[in-house]
Chains A and B, each alone.
Chain A
């Protein structure tokens, strides 16, 4: 049996490999294989998978990539992820990618979709729009047609066939992956001292670049190993971090939060891996099933309209209860409109529910962790004092 250290070492290597060697190797292993990149938050990876292609999650260049060209494309007051993604493109890191999907999440990613068309005209790039209306016969029908257009676009540009049967099989494969990801999250919420947040992050992040079957196996191996290993339990408080759904925080930031005395028991990192809640049915019309799941069983986040005012922010309150959290940290990328505009509303909801919270901003290339450690440390101390009082 592999140890968690071995597994996480492999994940760390994948994380650091900005040439995406694993995905390149997968593509080279058989002629005709295609790779389709996607950005946060969510795309139905099942459709790519059902065409025999590899969905590849692109979440910027992190703090390891030196951005040289990217800055020439963006003003200083725009977040980091689009410029480091451009850097990846211009620097040839993505030269093996046959398609790029830009989900409907904010104006920056939206405009990046058009930039990609201008800069990389040979690549199939598509803005992946999703409904903000959640009625089956309005938003649902619109979404099914969008999915169909995506399916046909991929079929044409990547010369593949995506059948209903293959789609149903892919849904089953991703159902299993989502179940395992949730198991990992549940495990961490129960015994966070055994599942450090940085490890869990790396583990889930590996799923962006590996074939899903391999990733599911990896998750199983980790779940099997983690239980057999002992780690000391610290007197940390239990918190949720939110606002990290797009531009990724540096790994050191995740570590710093934990080092400062906070166990992370839930987060909104890499939401694609658990966007759909519960299994998507594998019987019947697969497109309708994917649409149903999106409309009625998907996570809440800032780029989604919440039609019911009473529901606004309740996903956080529920997560606090379910995961036994004692507070919430809002960590948002600088200049991130969706996260920063949403934050005051969520804070009001938490304050009304007497849930302690703090907020700070980061950039994917933030280097200085001291201020964050101090803030998170003070927060942890105040939670402890508060609970003892």
Chain B
């Protein structure tokens, strides 16, 4: 028997849904982020481009750079349905159809005039800070951009946690790179002298916002969960994974968000969706892997229409894993930056990633795991089928595997994904019914 997915009738028209304060703030912060970058040259500010995982925003701020994050641009182009043409443009220029579509979206955007979401042109970066954390593609991506921009490129190499731990050797290697290469070069490009107290202040602010973020993410342990930790989570991580970590604005945003979520919790409400509050919570899921951005809304709708809420996700840990205790520590400024980079999700070994997902399923009392495997992202995807088996084995909870791409619309097949999800929810139902029967028999 097929589960019929229907849209609940009593949901408000999306245009009538009033936005929470945090949403308005977030939107406005994003707009300001792009305005700051595009107006940097006229304000005499320099631009640094860097990646989200292992981004050193607190350090970058010490040199007064505007921080341009290429993945954020790719996501924006995905959400605005522009990435498809950019990816194809890059392929026309000779880039392989097999490689990461973030890179191609970025290169295609460049070829088409490098226009930011605010309609202004992105200025060329003055420096590429290649914090190479958790993904080999970064290395090639910035070599490609360097070829284009011919600007200073600074490498910060983050060793991989192959054995599932951070060793002193790794930490020292990174601190030495920061001290002897990264900081002097940033000083040279920016013309600003490094002030460690300024860094400490930024780190202190980061830790404060991180506390609130973790609080918010962990409210998903409640039933019903007041948040969706994947689709909604992506909005929540925006400021802290990007150019706002270490600022007062981020502190303010997360404090507001926390209050809102507290209020939802007190009222026994579920997550906010693009169509208003979610109905009854029927399924609690943990997700692994990035979402699809080109059909983000449709994708999300397939979940909330079914009463499925994501209570924890690995993707919202790519820009930092905070929920197991890590906080930026102003008393150990360089060490803490190293540990931050070393600890991001994709820099963790596969067994660590499995442990994390198992933990999430247990701690958040989830019904199962859903993996969205991204065609063009080896960093996430290689090994996910084994991860799925391991998590199923250890938790006894069913897992499902769907496939799409981050920003290439050619690899989002709504019908296939919907089918998969339908069967999966049935499986969860059966498992629950079986569990209930067993419980009744006992």
Contact = CB atoms under 8 A, between A and B. Distances in A.
Decide if A and B are genuine partners.
yes
Contact of B159 (A72, A142, A309, A347): A142
A337 B140 contact: yes
Contacts of A282: none
A309 B147 contact: yes
B386 A129 contact: no
Nearest to B139: A305
A118 B180 CA distance: 38
Nearest to A71: B385
B144 A345 contact: yes
B275 interface: no
A58 to B, nearest CB: 17
B294 to A, nearest CB: 17
Interface string B162-186: 1100010110110011001100000
A17 B159 CA distance: 36
Contact of B386 (A73, A108, A309): A73
B373 interface: yes
Contacts of B198: none
Interface string B337-356: 00000000000011111100
B67 interface: no
Contacts of B379: 107, 111
B150 interface: yes
Interface in A97-128: 102, 104-108, 110-115, 117-119, 126-127
Contact of A340 (B99, B135, B163, B353): B99
Given A302-B140, A312-B143, A337 B351 contact: no
Contacts of B172: 141-142
Given A127-B163, A131-B173, A337-B99, A108 B382 contact: yes
Interface residues of B, number: 56
Nearest to B130: A305
Contacts of A135: 180-181
A342 B140 contact: yes
Interface in A297-348: 302-303, 305-307, 309, 312, 332, 334-338, 340-345, 347-348
B155 interface: yes
A145 interface: yes
Given A132-B155, A343-B96, A149 B169 contact: yes
Given A106-B136, A113-B349, A77 B160 contact: no
Nearest to A86: B386
Given A75-B385, A126-B162, A129-B162, A336 B98 contact: yes
Given A77-B376, A106-B378, A338-B136, A347 B162 contact: no
A332 B139 CA distance: 18
A85 to B, nearest CB: 12
Contact of A142 (B160, B173, B180, B383): B173
Interface in A322-377: 332, 334-338, 340-345, 347-348, 361
Given A78-B378, A107-B378, A118 B386 contact: yes
B94 A344 contact: yes
Contacts of A82: 382
Interface string A272-316: 000000000000000000000000000000110111010010000
A115 B157 contact: no
Contacts of A74: 382, 385
Given A127-B163, A142-B169, A305-B132, A111 B382 contact: yes
Nearest to A340: B96
B93 interface: yes
B146 interface: yes
Contact of A145 (B98, B169, B381): B169
A78 B136 contact: no
A337 B386 CA distance: 21
A133 B157 contact: yes
Nearest to B132: A132
Contacts of B378: 78, 106-108, 111, 335, 337
Contacts of B103: 341
Contacts of A132: 132, 139, 155, 157
B100 interface: yes
B95 interface: yes
B203 to A, nearest CB: 23
Top 4 closest A-B pairs, CB basis?
A114-B350, A127-B162, A341-B140, A142-B173
Interface of A: 72-75, 77-78, 82, 102, 104-108, 110-115, 117-119, 126-127, 129, 131-133, 135, 137-139, 141-142, 145-146, 149, 302-303, 305-307, 309, 312, 332, 334-338, 340-345, 347-348, 361
Given A111-B383, A341-B137, 20 more contacts: A74-B385, A75-B373, A77-B381, A78-B378, A106-B136, A112-B382, A112-B383, A117-B350, A118-B350, A127-B160, A132-B139, A133-B155, A142-B159, A149-B167, A303-B136, A303-B139, A337-B100, A338-B140, A342-B143, A348-B147
Interface of B: 93-96, 98-100, 103, 130, 132, 135-137, 139-141, 143-144, 146-147, 150, 153, 155, 157, 159-160, 162-163, 167, 169-170, 172-173, 176-177, 180-181, 349-354, 373, 375-376, 378-379, 381-386, 390, 403
18 contacts: A77-B375, A77-B376, A108-B378, A111-B379, A112-B383, A115-B386, A118-B351, A126-B162, A127-B162, A133-B181, A138-B173, A312-B143, A335-B378, A336-B98, A340-B96, A344-B93, A344-B95, A345-B147
